[in-house]
Amino acid sequence: MSDGALGRVWFVTGCSSGMGRAIAEALASSGDRAVITARSVSQIQNIALRAPERMRAVALDIADRNSVQTAVKAAIDSFGQIDVLVNNAGIGLVGSVEECSEQEIEHVFETNVFGTIRVIRAVLPHMRKRRSGVILGMTSVLGFQAVPAVGIYSATKCALEGMLEALAGEVAPLGIKVTILQPGVYKTEFRAKSLAQSRAVIEDYAATSGKMRTGLVGYPDSAGDPAKAAAAILTLINSGKPLPGRLALGADAVALIKNKLKVIEKSLTEWESLSVASGGSESTMSLHSSAVSQSSN
């Protein structure tokens, strides 16, 4: 995947704070090369200067197509390749589905979904040419188990999960691997810097979304350390093992996912006879099953 002793080349979005910054700092201490990005280079230049021979700080706004193309070109011009793409940049939105305005919803989707797709599409031609690469998509455990007040944010993460899962099957024959990262709650600046609240507040949602608005202000003491998550991501890439389709980050994420799977299994079993009676045949799933098997290998 990489040029031997020179180490892999990482391209990481959203490095100004939070998980992205933790990943950038971990890479500064590794032997790999990296292009770390943020909308303002001044926020990340100090990290790149820790290893100037191996790191570049590049301006990137994933909501801007020209910015994406320029940043990817800068990475290729600097190191000749991109081995690992980490799609970390994203924003949040708190509010019930009804409280969030169309403008607020579109802004979150433009960044989290279209911005991420924009970066992946810009990097893929280079990975395809080399028949090698890893794409890590940072979603959220809330993309698997949504809760009141973050329905729109969860919708963007669900969209990414579906896109990345399909992409994994598309690029597997080309030597490119895709892993979905599903973090739980970590102590980062995300809530303070990247988590907006809907301007509208509807009293009828006080007992549901309203409670979550208050609960999302701070972090519990049990929230994870982003440095540990960053270390886990580097361990994953350096493990030498086949990469998983998904990796939960944090004990809370593991517990929430396990519980959701139990709920799904219980519901499937309880309503299986009605589901089966509604039509279709197991044989029609052969095409889907083969695609899932291919992307999981």
Let me know the angle formed at the C-alpha of 54 by 164 and 180, rounded to the nearest 5 degrees.
Answer: 15
**219 catalytically annotated:** no
DSSP string, the chain: ---GGG--EEEES--SSHHHHHHHHHHHTSSSEEEEEESSGGGTHHHHTTSTTTEEEEE--TT-HHHHHHHHHHHHHHHS--SEEEE----EEES-TTTS-HHHHHHHHIIIIIIHHHHHHHHHHHHHHHT-EEEEEE--GGGTS--TT-HHHHHHHHHHHHHHHHHHHHHGGGTEEEEEEEE--B-SSIIIIIEEE-S---GGGTTTHHHHHHHTSS--TTPBPHHHHHHHHHHHHHS-SPPPSEEEESHHHHHHHHHHHHHHHHHHHHTHHHHHHTS--GGGGHHHHHHHHHHH-
Catalytic residue among 153, 186, 205, 219: 153
Active site residues: 153
